[in-house]
Amino acid sequence: MAKATVTFADIGVTVTVPAGTRIIEISEKVGAGITYGCREGDCGTCIMKVVEGWDNLTEPSVLEGKVLRDNYAGKHHRLACQAQVLGGDIAVKPA
């Protein structure tokens, strides 16, 4: 299975993960500062900034795009509960 790395820039931890992993599956376990509310892509609590490897994440769905817009999320922001790793290197931090 393809491997990827996700770096949580706020705490300096890099995790090697299989492709398909969602950020939510690892960020809490490593104690990164990204926080969650509904955990199902609706509330916008877990908006994070992708500081590296934007293209190494799945594209935002239409619904995620709407939540990001409704919350005035900036460029290169994603919902950590929705974004899935495709491969390569990614770095994220709390928005």
Q: Is 80 in the site for another protein (CB under 8 A)?
A: no
Rg for the chain, CA atoms, rounded: 12
Output the smallest distance, CB 31 to another protein, in A: 2
Q: Is 38 in the site for another protein (CB under 8 A)?
A: no
- Which lies closer to another protein via its Cβ, residue 29 or residue 76? 29
Distance CA 29, CA 67 (A): 25
State the Cα torsion 34-37-85-28 to the nearest 10°: 50
Q: Is 31 in the site for another protein (CB under 8 A)?
A: yes
Q: Which two tokens stand for residue 42?
A: 């609706």
Stretch in the footprint of another protein (CB under 8 A) among 20-28, 47-55, 56-64, 75-83: 20-28
